[in-house]
Amino acid sequence: MLAPAETDVRAYPSSPRVKPDTSWLHQWSPGHNPGGTRGYSLHPAELRRRRNRCEPIVNALRHAGRQFVSVCNVCGSERNAIVAQPDRYGFPSRTAMCLNCGLFFLVDRLTDEGYSEFYKSGTYRRLVSAFSGAKQAIEEIQSDQVHYAAGLIQALRGYLKFGPGARLLDVGGSAGQVALEFQNFFGIDATVLDPAEAEVAAAKRAGLEAYTGSIEQWTSKERFDFILLCRTIEHVQDLRGMLAKLRSLLTPQGLLYCDIVDFTEACRLMGHPEAVSKIDHCYWMTQESAPGIFRHAGLEIVSMNLSRQQPLMGFLLRRCEPSPWLPVDPLWTKLQMRGFQQRASEWQEWGRRPSDSKDWLRRKAYKLKRALIRNL
């Protein structure tokens, strides 16, 4: 339950209409060139190397069932702009921005059955491991979850108060360590839901009630005082339906914590949207578009949390009456597209420079080869 004394929702107007902050426009002036001076988090040459590691898994995924989605899941608009193709793994998937509500979504994606097998079989973890070069074993997942939970508990202390018998549902809870930490700290009985069988088995070994499945397919007569949706919302296949379902699973005074990967901020850090988009993220929101999407689903913001794990942005939400949909300000979408174009240009220009000594040698060898061919 929310501690009333620490609640102040006056800072969050009821209208979900996005008003753009144009104070940052100077960042995109001709003289501003962040990519040219500091670089981005992922060099184009490094992205190519990572895609090569992912190629066998991506080739296997090409045989999975796929679907074409051109209509926005949230507002139903058919107006959109393609911002990335292919995705970061090299999978032939396009990412679009809805020009009506600002939601980013995959135009080319797997079918619901394809995603179910993708997570259940462990293909998702293998793909992420190949891309990052870091092992995604249960032990590593649990360690990461403990670290994440510690920061989140500190952010939510005082906002959450639960009575005896209170229930927690962790959607996409993986190996269950976040749910376990919340159970131990707040004294709330935790349940984990995740589509990966191996990770659900780990949650059960930790003593938690856990189920294998997606939130779209899972049914329950239980009602929960607190629901966690941590690093998960981008993975769902039906965003609007999922938010409505979570709202129905909350008790009247229940709370939902959801964090999003801010797509715009991720691109600012990484460079080209192509280096950010991925087949396992069907949807992306931003700090500007998320409040309107939540309000339309009948969820209002109680508090926001700027996570240390950028570009994560957290929202503590409670039930409210769903609001009529209002489109985002057209200026905001124009600024988004201009920003993507600017960053893509900077990222590609940066890619013309060697990323390391090996890359420098490869480039020199390539230029020498071209010169020899011309002279023959």
* Amino acid identity, position 178: V
Question: What tokens were used for 122?
Answer: 């462990």
pLDDT of residue 357: 59
How far apart (Å, rounded) are the C-alpha atoms in residues 76 and 71? 6
- Nearest CA-CA partner of 7 in 318, 368, 263, 375: 318
pLDDT of residue 167: 98
pLDDT of residue 328: 87
What does each of the 376 residues of the chain score in pLDDT, given as a tens digit?
444 333 333 233 333 344 433 333 333 333 334 434 347 999 999 999 999 999 999 999 999 999 999 999 999 999 999 999 999 999 999 999 999 999 999 999 999 999 999 999 999 999 999 999 988 889 999 999 999 999 999 999 999 999 999 999 999 999 999 999 999 999 999 999 999 999 999 999 999 999 999 998 899 999 999 999 999 999 999 999 999 999 999 999 999 999 999 999 999 999 999 999 999 999 999 999 999 999 999 999 999 998 878 899 999 999 999 998 888 899 999 999 999 999 999 999 998 877 655 655 555 554 565 555 545 5
Q: Report in angstroms the alpha-carbon separations of 349 from 50, 200, 345.
A: 19, 44, 6
Cβ neighbours of residue 148 closer than 8 Å, sequence gap 6 or more: 178, 230, 231, 309
Q: Report in angstroms the alpha-carbon separations of 37 from 33, 95, 304, 353.
A: 7, 28, 32, 12
Cβ atoms of 86 and 274 closer than 8 Å: yes
* Amino acid identity, position 290: A
In the chain, which ranges are continuous DSSP H helix? 34-38, 44-61, 112-120, 123-132, 138-156, 177-186, 197-205, 239-249, 263-270, 290-296, 330-350, 357-375
Describe the crossing of helices 197-205 and 138-156 by its angle, rounded to 10 degrees.
70
pLDDT of residue 3: 42
pLDDT of residue 108: 97
How far apart (Å, rounded) are the C-alpha atoms in residues 101 and 18? 9
List phi, psi (to 5°) of 93.
Answer: -135, 135
Rounded (5°) CA angle 310-316-321: 135
Question: What tokens were used for 242?
Answer: 């999922």
pLDDT of residue 136: 83
Domain ranges within the chain, ordered by starting residue:
39-359
pLDDT of residue 23: 38
Q: Beta strand pairing status for 104-106 and 95-98?
A: antiparallel
pLDDT of residue 34: 41
Domain range 39-359, CATH class: alpha beta
Describe the crossing of helices 138-156 and 177-186 by its angle, rounded to 10 degrees.
40
List phi, psi (to 5°) of 43.
Answer: -70, 145
Name 227's bridge partners. Answer: 169, 256
